[in-house]
């Protein structure tokens, strides 16, 4: 295929909206696995893949998030079928022997440079969060990203030592994962959308040099 058709561009960008209200339609765990398996192919620098994704589906998990949410984000988050914490692992470089096997020196290059680690983790986990949103749209889901939350509270509640009771994941227990942003996922209620705000025109945002 040379390029996506207009319908696909509408689904991914032009008609895709940010949702605050959700239809009562669940998102199965299998679809979340498929979502990750699509989004994971988005590029990151040196294939570092620093993002970590925590899918909150149960009421109990959502309650753990509630105290960290800005007031305006509570209702939409509590009613969303899934809320994802898009986080980054500051020890992402420990995975580089697997992820970047053709250059074994890359692990130490990061391990010796905490500033580079932080910059790389933040930049690339943000990109991976965007890949996740586009993958969600491609799979027929809707998104509601949020930065209105207390990240220190989220990190303490979900990523501090001893917070991995049932998480079943290897990256939680040791406290080197930090939250970047949140994203509600589900099937959005189009009847509750606000009119769409404009975007910058080409000449306001771009230059051709
Ligand atoms: C990283 C990020 C953080 C956001 N934080 C919030 C938030 O805390 N609360 C909120 O209601 N909307 C939040 N938004 C939603 C934006 O306001 C919304 O995506 C934007 O206005 C575009 O809306 P549209 O997709 O419907 O065109 C956030 C969006 C992004 C991408």
- For 12-28, the pLDDT digits (tens) are 999 999 999 999 999 99
Residues 6+ apart with CB under 8 A from 186: 19, 22, 23, 25, 27, 80, 81, 82, 141, 142
pLDDT surpassing 80 at residue 169: no
Which of these, 138, 171, 179, lies nearest to 41 by C-alpha position?
138
User: Ligand 1, from 10, 11, 17, 18: best to mutate by most atoms within 8 Å of Cβ?
Assistant: 18
Residue 171 has pLDDT above 70, yes or no: no
Burial 174-189 (b: 16+ CB within 10 A, else e): eebbbbbbbbbbbbbe
Q: 84 is written with which tokens?
A: 């994802």
Atom of ligand 1 nearest to the CA of 20: 11
pLDDT one-digit tens code per residue, 172-209: 656 789 999 999 999 999 999 999 999 999 999 999 99
d(CA 76, CA 92): 31
Rg value, the chain, Cα: 18
Q: Residues 187, 141: contact at Cβ < 8 Å? A: yes
Task: Look at residue 166 in the predicted model and tell me its pLDDT.
Answer: 59
Answer yes or no: is pLDDT of 148 > 70: yes
Band of pLDDT at residue 95, cut at 50, 70 and 90:
very high
- Structure token digits, residue 200: 């910058």
| Phi, psi torsion values for 192, nearest 5 degrees | -105, 10
Spacing, Cα 168 to ligand 1 middle (Å): 31
Distance CA 45, CA 49 (A): 8
CA of 177 to the centre of ligand 1 (A): 23
Q: How many angstroms separate the alpha carbon of residue 162 from the centre of ligand 1?
A: 32
pTM greater than 0.75 (yes/no): yes
- On the question of pLDDT at 152 being above 60, the answer is yes
Of 122-136, 150-164, 192-206, give the lowest mean pLDDT range.
Answer: 150-164
H/E stretch holding 144: strand 142-146
Ligand 1: distance of its center to the CA of 183 in Å?
A: 9
Percent of the chain with pLDDT over 70: 93
d(CA 128, CA 118): 15
Q: Cβ < 6 Å from ligand 1: which residues?
A: 17-18, 70, 72-73, 145-148, 181, 196-197
DSSP-assigned letters across all residues of 1-37? --S--HHHHIIIIIS--B-SSB-S----HHHHHHHHH
More confident: 171 or 101:
101
- Ligand 1 atom index nearest CA of 149: 8
Gap from CA of 19 to ligand 1 centroid (Å): 9
The count of other CB atoms within 10 Å of the CB of residue 206 is 8
Q: What local confidence, expressed as pLDDT, does residue 177 receive?
A: 92
pLDDT at 157: 92
Banded pLDDT at 32 (limits 50, 70, 90) = very high
What sections of the chain are H helices per DSSP? 6-9, 29-39, 59-65, 74-79, 96-99, 105-111, 114-138, 151-154, 202-205
The tens digit of pLDDT for each residue in 35-51 reads 999 999 999 999 999 99
Average pLDDT over residues 114-133: 98
């Amino acid at each position: 295929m040379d390029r996506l058709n207009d319908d696909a561009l509408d689904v991914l960008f032009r008609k895709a909206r940010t949702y605050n209200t959700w239809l009562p339609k669940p998102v199965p765990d299998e679809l979340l696995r498929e979502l990750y398996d699509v989004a994971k192919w988005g590029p990151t620098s040196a294939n570092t893949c620093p993002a970590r994704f925590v899918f909150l589906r149960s009421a109990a998990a959502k309650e753990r998030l509630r105290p960290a949410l800005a007031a305006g984000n509570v209702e939409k988050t509590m009613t969303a079928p899934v809320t994802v914490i898009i986080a980054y692992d500051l020890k992402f470089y420990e995975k580089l022997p697997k992820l970047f096997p053709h250059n074994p020196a890359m692990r130490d290059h990061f391990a010796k440079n905490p500033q580079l680690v932080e910059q790389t983790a933040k930049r690339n986990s943000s990109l991976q969060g965007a890949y996740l949103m586009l993958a969600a749209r491609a799979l027929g889901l809707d998104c509601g990203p949020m930065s209105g939350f207390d990240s220190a509270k989220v990190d303490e509640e979900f990523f501090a030592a001893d917070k991995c009771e049932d998480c079943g994941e290897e990256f939680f227990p040791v406290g080197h994962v930090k939250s970047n942003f949140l994203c509600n996922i589900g099937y959005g209620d189009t009847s509750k959308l606000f009119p769409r705000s404009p975007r910058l025109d080409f000449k306001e945002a771009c230059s051709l040099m």
